[in-house]
Structure 1
Amino acid sequence: MVISTEAVYIFIGIITLCGSIYTFFDKKNPRRISSALFYFLYAVTLMCAKVIPPFYIGLIVLAIVVLAGLNRVQKGDYGEAPREERENNRKRLGGWLFLPALLIPLLTVAGVEGVGSHKLAGRFIFDQSNVTMVSLAVGTAIALIVAWLMTKSSPLTSVKESRRLLESIGWAAVLPQMLAMLGTIFNSAGVGTAVSSAVDHIIPANSLFWAVFAYCVGMALFTMIMGNAFAAFPVMTAGIAIPLIIQHFGVNADRVAAIGMFAGYCGTLMTPMAANFNIVPAALLDLKSKYHVIRAQVPTAILLLAVNIVIMYLVAR
């Protein structure tokens, strides 16, 4: 049995759907019906995107945008345990609390580098179209089971906590998909081809380093313009990574994509367009300048970008 990317989205959609049901019955939420509808529609797009025609998915997306734009999505009540009880649980578990969180990246890497390339009964265990995402999902599921065993809680607790975290993020939770779609539209409009043509005239054709440099820096710069690496990814990957790094030099696509996203995240640290990361914290902390967070992050972002360039070059050699 192959663990597919579609199965991952369906699983996330089911959790979101369950959370929307809790929201619908949450009478302490001042916008419980519209909030529940927002998350219900979001769950539908995750679970049924392959069976619902694109036109109707587009209508659902427009409904999601309207609900968010009219400020109809609010947080509710989550029945959290008293502070004293949570503090006692924290002391009881101690440093083991971090184990589930640490398992997720470790198991993701293990999945990509190990299980992702193995077959069972002649078929790959993980969907080869996106081994990284499937590995992340499997790693998260295992970490969740470990958390259940450690805390002796039920799966319903996980659903309730997922709902709490999702509603804390609010409408911004749909931004990655929205921006990724925007990047796809840009790519369909030929922006990626234009980028590829421009890069072909600038960098040497047989230089792997300059191809990697152009891709990583391009990911960071385009992320700064768009405000999110998900929007930059389709354009830069189609324009630079696929023709110059993956096809021309034969580099593993999963590794290029993963490191390329990290390079894009460096751009996120340096742009006011990523308002939820950089501008909102400055406002919450009542800083004198709304750009203070960005200025503090720029040196780290540049250093990380340089590290990502080196890592991708070494991986690609």
Structure 2
Amino acid sequence: MITLTWVYVIAGVAFAAFAMFNLIDKANPRRFGNAAFWGLMAVSMWAGDLLGDFGNGLLVLALVAIAGFGGLGKTKADEVPEATKNQRAAKYGNGLFAIALVIPATALAGTFLFKQFPAYFDVKQVTLISLALGVLLALAVGHAWLRAAPALPLSQGRRLMDSVGWAAILPQMLASLGAVFALAGVGDVVGGVIQQAIPAGSLVGAVIAFGVGMALFTMIMGNAFAAFPVMVAAIGMPLLIKQYHGDPAIICAIGMLAGFCGTLMTPMAANFNLVPAALLELKDENAVVKMQIATAVPLLIVNIALIYFLAFR
């Protein structure tokens, strides 16, 4: 049976390749830090279950230490000349996007198709399995069409990941932080404070507090998945679901969308908002955030209204 373990193996291979490319790159003064960082990620993918909680905790601390003490850097050794980029863009045009579209198309098709074969695929993880398969298919299509060297995707992937740096694993870190907060009872503490500010018996106040709270906590923590367990424990479960008998599916689904509105408005969501600015070499690193605020605020208002009108019919 194909399970999530296979996805971890493939991801580990990619991280190990990034580490090896860095290790042999003498043009990068911080190549050893980069190699150690991506090498530890490969270890996490391959042996995370064997390391246990304590071992994984040490691994995370090592990753934080490498990034926090400036151990990561990037090189220009694998940069493609601007003239070559323009030449290839003119030759292939927008058709290049077809390679990228192979990934979501495969993920969507696999999500529906693989569930019909429970003997061969872990039906609980078919989306992630399909996503990994989409990446492999996109690589195959790209290689067949562009006739690139076999190692080129990994070397260019290494260059991109080195440009992104520690922000590449920020979503996983923040989602884990949210789980830790939930287990530590932070949601109960936050709920006690917020519920004192909500007028007694006010459904509108509770819905607004939940929606705005999801957005604000996402802005603070940088990830809606980290904010979700805290706000559900604080307001969603005790007030909206238990007290006012709201539909849990609607509250949770649209509540996440409210959190994503916060993602649009915070530099803490570095992988979404700061990395694109860095890759596009924008002068203002917060330019993406500033442009998104005008979209995020109306969306947040709409999401709060949707929770109120749909979840309590």
SS of alignment partner, residue 75 of structure 1: coil
Q: Residue 84 of structure 1 aligns to which amino acid in structure 2?
A: A
Identity %: 42
1:132-183 per-residue CA deviation (whole Å, 9 max, x = no partner) reads 4334333333323222222122442211121111101012222222212211
- Verify: 1:228 aligned to 2:223, yes or no: yes
1:207-286 aligned at under 5 Å gives the runs: 216-236=211-231, 249=247, 251=249, 261-274=256-269, 277=273, 281=277, 285-286=282-283
Q: CA–CA distance in 1 between the matches of 2:121 and 2:292?
A: 40
Cα-to-partner distance string for 1:239-261 (whole Å, 9 max, x where unaligned): 6678877x9747499xx66x655
2:24 maps to 1:33: no
Instruction: Write the mapping of 1:1-317 to structure 2, written as runs, cut at 5 A.
Output: 1-4=1-4, 6-112=5-111, 114-115=112-113, 118-120=115-117, 122-123=118-119, 125-128=121-124, 130-193=125-188, 216-236=211-231, 249=247, 251=249, 261-274=256-269, 277=273, 281=277, 285-286=282-283, 294-306=289-301
Relative to structure 1, the CA distance from residue 160 to residue 236 in structure 2 (aligned partners, 3 Å threshold; closer, same or farther) is farther
CA distance in 1, matches of 2:283, 2:171: 27
State the AA in 2 paired with 1:136. Answer: L
Query: 1:60, 1:22 → 2: CA distance?
Result: 21
Give the TM-score taking structure 1 as reference length. Answer: 0.76
Paired AA for residue 176 in structure 1:
P
Q: Closer, same or farther in 2 for the Cα pair 1:260/1:248, shift >3 Å?
A: closer
**What SS does the corresponding residue of 2:74 show, helix, strand or coil?**
coil
**Structure 2 Cα separation of the partners of residues 131 and 306 of structure 1:** 34
For the Cα contact (< 8 Å) 1:2–1:123, is it kept in 2?
Answer: no
**Relative to 1, partners in 2 of residues 1:263 and 1:136: Cα closer, same or farther, differing over 3 Å?**
farther
Given that 2:167 and 2:270 are in contact with CA atoms closer than 8 Å, whether structure 1 keeps it comes out as: no
Q: Distance in 1 between matches of 2:256 and 2:231?
A: 10
* C-alpha distance in structure 2 between counterparts of 1:188 and 1:22, whole Å: 39
Task: Work out whether residues 250 and 307 of structure 2, in 8 Å CA contact, stay in contact via their aligned partners in 1.
Answer: no
- Cα gap change, 1:248/1:21 in structure 2, threshold over 3 Å: closer, same or farther? same
Moved more, 290-299 or 144-153: 290-299
Contiguous gaps of at least 5 residues in structure 1: none
Cα drift, residue 312 of structure 1: 8.2
Write the letter of the residue equivalent to 1:102: L
**Shift of residue 235, structure 1, vs aligned partner:** 2.8
Q: CA distance change for structure 1 residues 80 and 315 in 2, over 3 Å: closer, same or farther? A: farther
What RMSD, in angstroms, separates the aligned Cα atoms of the two structures? 4.0
Question: How far apart are 1:226 and its partner, in Å?
Answer: 1.5
**How far has the Cα of 1:99 moved from its partner?**
0.7
Contact 2:107 2:130 in 1 (8 A): yes
- 2:107 and 2:18 map into 1 onto residues whose CA distance is 26
1:119 is aligned with what amino acid? Q
| 1-structure distance, mates of 2:205, 2:150 | 49
Q: Supply the distance in 2 between the matched residues of 1:279 and 1:143 (Cα, whole angstroms).
A: 23
CA 213–170 in structure 1, closer or farther in 2 if over 3 Å, else same? same
Contact 2:78 2:156 survives alignment (8 Å): no
Distance across 2 between alignment mates of 1:314 and 1:138: 40
Distance (Å, rounded) in 2 between the aligned partners of 1:127 and 1:54:
26
8 Å Cα contact 1:223/1:232 also seen in 2: yes
Partner Cα distance (1:278, 1:22) in 2: 25
SS for the counterpart of 1:66 is helix
Query: Cα gap change, 1:98/1:292 in structure 2, threshold over 3 Å: closer, same or farther?
Result: closer
Inter-partner Cα distance in structure 1 for 2:167 and 2:262: 19
Matches of 1:280 and 1:90, distance apart in 2: 20
For structure 2, list consecutive stretches of 5 or more residues without a partner in the other structure. none
TM-score by length of 2: 0.77
Whole-angstrom distance in 1 between the partners of 2:264 and 2:45: 28
Match of 2:49, SS state, is: coil
Cα distance, 1:125–1:93 mapped onto 2, change above 3 Å:
same
